[in-house]
Amino acid sequence: MTHLSPGAAALVGDWLASLKALDGRADKTLVAYQRDVSGFIAFLGLYRGGVTAVTALQAVTLQDMRAWMAEERRRGVSPRSLARSLSAVKVFYRWFGERAGFEPTAILATRAPRFSAKLPRPVDAGAARAMIETVDAQATEAWIAARDAAVVTLLYGCGLRISEALSLTIRDTPLPASLRIRGKGGKERMIPVIAPAQRSVEAYLALCPFPATPERALFLGARGGPLAARAIQKAMELARAQLGLPATTTPHAMRHSFATHLLEAGGDLRAIQELLGHASLSTTQAYTAVDQARLMEVYDRAHPKAQEAV
């Protein structure tokens, strides 16, 4: 149960509104922020024996922070999830501190728990091509088959998130050589569109039975409404079963594959960061670790000295 005073609830609401208006944070991010920060404030109320008022939020101590983190771990919250919640609390307190004129030292000084970062799980280039060639075989109607192939081609060929591919409209077609994409947090980036992606979208549009009005979603579901991500996920699940690919071969894995294969081909890390729309280079650097892991696998299999040690 969330124990927030009306003032605290209003304060969180004001903060979320400012994030949406000034920073353009995505709705899913705002929902997660609200859950994490409200949960933190609720814990303070329970820990202190009552509902937490706005004035009390300015007096949070390191002991309070340690108690909150200990309670979260006791509830089974993973280190990764706790680090995410702590990040949300810090974002809130930076805003709150500036607004109320105090320094939230205890909150900002709290260290996130350590956890092992999960490396992206890309598929190799051959498997990516096989997925594109096989995913359209899952549909019973030709236009749906062409649609699924076009979406997966955009994920792998352009490094799009599935939400970005599904946000395209008829106004974006015919796909130009360079396309402006609005990604997470409203951040815009320009991406090159390869010829196979252009052709796959044109093939889909030629078969799509619904009127192509400018504001209409580019990719449609079977009944003519905007396509849901689940439809592509399901088509890929069926295709990967046919191909014998692992369960990690998801729509997002195609985006990971785009980045990893560019890096393997000598792509510049900063350029890949821009193409993916990552706010931080550290996010993109995860692909370097993937590349190094693959190099070590090749080394262990092929290097004469490595074989001597076996």
Give yes or no: 255 in active site: yes
Give yes or no: 35 in active site: no
d(CA 87, CA 264): 32
Cis (ω within 30 of 0) for the bond into 174? yes
Give yes or no: 184 in active site: yes
d(CA 132, CA 200): 10
Exposure b/e, 196-210, CB count within 10 A at least 16 = b = ebbebbebbbeebee
Q: Which of 93, 156, 204, 287 is labelled catalytic?
A: 287
Q: Which two tokens stand for residue 9?
A: 């609830």
Evaluate the CA torsion angle 204, 210, 214, 220 in order and state its sign.
negative
Give yes or no: 252 in active site: yes
Q: Which of 25, 147, 255, 261 is labelled catalytic?
A: 255
Considering just the CA atoms, what is the radius of gyration of the chain in Å?
A: 24
Q: Which of 161, 240, 256, 261 is labelled catalytic?
A: 161
Chain centroid offset of residue 235 CA: 20
φ, ψ (nearest 5 deg) of residue 262: -65, -45
Annotate 152-168 with DSSP letters as a single string: HHHHHHH---HHHHHT-
Q: Which of 121, 184, 189, 216 is labelled catalytic?
A: 184
Please give the positions annotated as active site.
Answer: 161, 184, 252, 255, 278, 287
